[in-house]
Amino acid sequence: MFPPNSITSSEQLHSTSNNQRWTFSLIWAVIIVTFSTSFVMGVNTGGPNLYNGFIIPWLRGYPFPCQKDDSTSQWIARVWSGCDYINVLARNYTGYYYLPAMPANSYVAQNFIDSLHGILFVVGATIGSFTGQYWYKYFTRRNAIIICMLFQVVASILMIFTLEIYHGYDLGDPSLLAIKKALENKNFAISLFYISRFLSGWSAGLSCVVTPIYLTDISPRTMRGEIVTYHQLLIVIGVFFGQIISLPWLLGQHDKWHWGMSWVGIFSLIGCFLIWTLYESPRWLMQDRQRHEAIESLRALRETSEIEEEIREIEREELTVNLQDLSLVRLFTSSRFRWPLLTSIVLTAASQFSGINTVLFYSHTTFSQMGILEDKVYWTVLSTGMCLVIATMASIKLVELFGRRPLILYPLAIIVVIMILLCVFLQINPEGLVVEILLLILIFIALFSVGLGTIPYLYPNEVFTISVRPVAHSFAMFSMFFTDALVIVVFPLLHSVFGSYVFLLFCICCLLSFVFLWLRMSETKSKRLHEIEEFWW
């Protein structure tokens, strides 16, 4: 224990200010962790949206190049595979040149099956986020990240095999023999595809727990918001890169999409080796009664020996919590954790009920329905990815400049208005108001990115003690992916019934979230835990 009077107040201030800076060890840790987990999650979120034109016919049992149903996929088939959608009578002798029309009575069921791979991704993410807390019982903060990487490595390997063992590459009208050969391994390949998507989702959900917690633990107090925001920044950069790689000029083609959905596993594989160069979380080491190791880790991360005040701060935060008395039951029943938990759950749920994933998962379909066709769809989708990146980069500074509450509440209020306008514009004349609708979507993305896109990963790590943090953050991420799963499953069904009026549901969710968070969300910027907790008492 450091002597209580070993440093004066002025020395404490000097020591604290010296520690609130970037160091090589800190930069290296942020780069390795975010590129091998957060970036990977983003690619897995943004890419499949543009591969659906190939995936859906393939899942239905129609793996040949010309078997496409939407205008953009048919444009790719015409340009890259020479498919003929004009002289219909001269083709389709065996029934495998074109994609058969979907019967009207099976439209809803088929749409659900077509989106099953996206649902499995979110279900995997939900399970991954909930189980994230348990990996810390067997691994350290740093080493738990390796599990996240390994899931993605396995998922990428499985994805590579899917199209290699089940495909149809005949450019003309395939023969009956070619059809039989193509369909031999169909069920096995589709099973591998679904398992791969589930494991990618599990990796994504787990990364949303282990990565922000590790980044929070190694961050100086006044830099927590900035550093944890890099998790979200690398997610949206991954979304943008996933969109770029899925362009038909790269891997967005009939015989290459499986590479487009598996290449990112290289980042996870490299991360499995480089993570051993990182320092363990000093907070976790202190919690695990490894005080000497915690001091050495903190000295290396801060690149200074003046860490006494930060060590004391970590010890003070943990004095009131018994490490052996942690459970979800205690988390829900403890009066101390009630409001931090409720605000964390509402915050993470609001990020999904805002409607953001209707943009990320269904932007290709939505823009096509607005009359944006062929290659123009890709440039429009890329504009959403670029907007995500720019706005999230801005949030890195904004989150420490303005604080957490303003970046959540004010954008939420504006999003309510945007959802109403989107509903009206889409109902009146979607094809005649393309520019206006696209502008509203981009404004919505920007507002989401600066607040709801970043702060839900940061906030739970700031309002709970170190020992409770894994359980609390894990449950907060579980609520986020659970609501995400609801949106992914229910949105296509509601949209087919209510049309553009479905955006009013998002509007109501945003309004209710705004009221609750206005009343009960504490500001956490640059505050110690006891200062944050004073808001609720």
What is the DSSP track for 320-361?
A: T--TT---HHHHHH-TTTHHHHHHHHHHHHHHHHTSHHHHHH
Q: Give the model confidence (pLDDT) of 348-387 as tens digits.
A: 999 989 888 777 666 666 676 666 766 778 888 888 889 9
Tokens of 191: 């099973």
pLDDT of residue 375: 75
Q: Give the model confidence (pLDDT) of 410-426 as tens digits.
A: 999 999 999 899 888 88
Among 209-213, 390-394, 457-461, which is the least confidently predicted range?
A: 457-461
User: What is the distance between the alpha carbons of residues 211 and 215, in angstroms, rounded to a whole number?
Assistant: 6
User: Quick one: what percent of the chain has pLDDT higher than 90?
Assistant: 39
Q: Please name the fold of domain 23-278+320-536.
A: Growth Hormone; Chain: A; (1.20.1250)
Q: Give the model confidence (pLDDT) of 37-93 as tens digits.
A: 999 999 998 878 788 889 999 999 999 998 887 788 888 888 888 888 887 666 777
- The pTM assigned to this predicted structure is 0.86
Give the CB-side neighbour count of residue 313, counting CA atoms within 13 A.
17
As a 3-state breakdown, the chain gives helix, strand, coil percent values, each rounded to 5, of: 75, 0, 25
pLDDT of residue 17: 46
pLDDT of residue 47: 77
Considering only residues 176 and 166, tell me which one the structure prediction assigns the higher pLDDT: 166
The whole-number average pLDDT for the span 245-252 is 92
User: What is the distance between the alpha carbons of residues 54 and 65, in angstroms, rounded to a whole number?
Assistant: 9
Strands (E), 95-160: none
User: Quick one: what percent of the chain has pLDDT higher than 70?
Assistant: 90
Q: Which of 495, 503, 360, 363 has the alpha carbon at shortest distance from 438?
A: 363
pLDDT of residue 324: 42
The whole-number average pLDDT for the span 319-327 is 52
pLDDT class for 457, splitting at 50, 70, 90?
confident
User: What is the distance between the alpha carbons of residues 53 and 491, in angstroms, rounded to a whole number?
Assistant: 19
Tokens of 192: 């591998």
Q: Give the model confidence (pLDDT) of 90-104 as tens digits.
A: 677 777 778 887 777
